[in-house]
Amino acid sequence: MASRQSLLPALEFLQTAQTIGSLSELDCAFAKVLEPFGFEVFQYTHLATPGQPLLPRSLFGRPSEAWNAQYRQGALYHRDPALKAIFTQVRPFTWTDIRQGGATAGALRIFDEAGDFDLKEGVVVPVHGPHGSVAGLQMVGANCDLDPAVRPTLHTLGLMYAALGLPLSELSAEPKPRRGFSAREKECLLWSARGKSDWDIGMILGLAERTVSMHCDRARARVGAHTRVQALATALKLGWITAEEI
């Protein structure tokens, strides 16, 4: 059972996480906060987008690379009962919950296989997007704290990590421009200039609202502007954007 002292890093993470500016820094902070609970690996996996086939993609985290390799090679997601449960659950659940929930012996065998990699127990946080997307964060270890009183804390930590990690992973995957804005920065700034809100832009470009905001903030920073209007004016002077594009 986690002590009061072990909860202090969790409180600190919740208070300071929004100031983190890179995915590697976020992973380090999250690993530190999970350590007192006995979790050694964690990963955020996108499962489904409306209208597209099921194809799980690990987007960020600190997974067990050896287990992930076997998981992918055997296409184990077809029989993974934890992944299937994410679609019907909104609250965190454990591998033990799945074991006790009536899954078939064949499906449960995946947990024994994970145990061969010293992954004995896990807590899963379902993440359901506002437009029907489905994802999940798994936190796994050999000796985890499964005290029911800890679950609300793990739920809050997991949702915070997922909400911050998704836009940071999108930013880190984008090629860095040698000169001018990145393609996404330019798109977001132009749509903002046309009067669209960050939410509107996210719907148009298929991005999270926070990701749009971060792209616009980086565009401002590139030209040393305090506002988006100033950034646009400076970009016009520099030739990074033309009047015809607005």
- 43-65 per-residue burial string, b: 16 or more CB within 10 A, e: under 16: bbbbbbbeeeeeebeebbbebbe
Domains of the chain: 5-173 (3.30.450.80), 183-245 (1.10.10.10)
What is the DSSP code string of 114-134? HHTTT--EEEEEEEE-TTS-E
Q: Looking at residue 203, what is its pLDDT? A: 93
Tokens of 173: 């995957």
Given a cut of 70, the residues of the chain with pLDDT beneath it are 1-6, 172-178
Tell me how far apart the alpha carbons of residues 33 and 13 are, in angstroms, rounded to a whole number: 7
Q: What is the pLDDT of residue 93?
A: 95
Give the pLDDT confidence of 4-51 residue by residue, as tens digits: 556 778 888 988 888 888 899 999 999 999 998 999 999 999 998 887
Q: What is residue 199's predicted lDDT score, i.e. its pLDDT?
A: 94
CA dihedral over 111, 117, 120, 121, signed as positive or negative: negative
Residue 176: the pLDDT is 55
Q: What is the pLDDT of residue 133?
A: 87
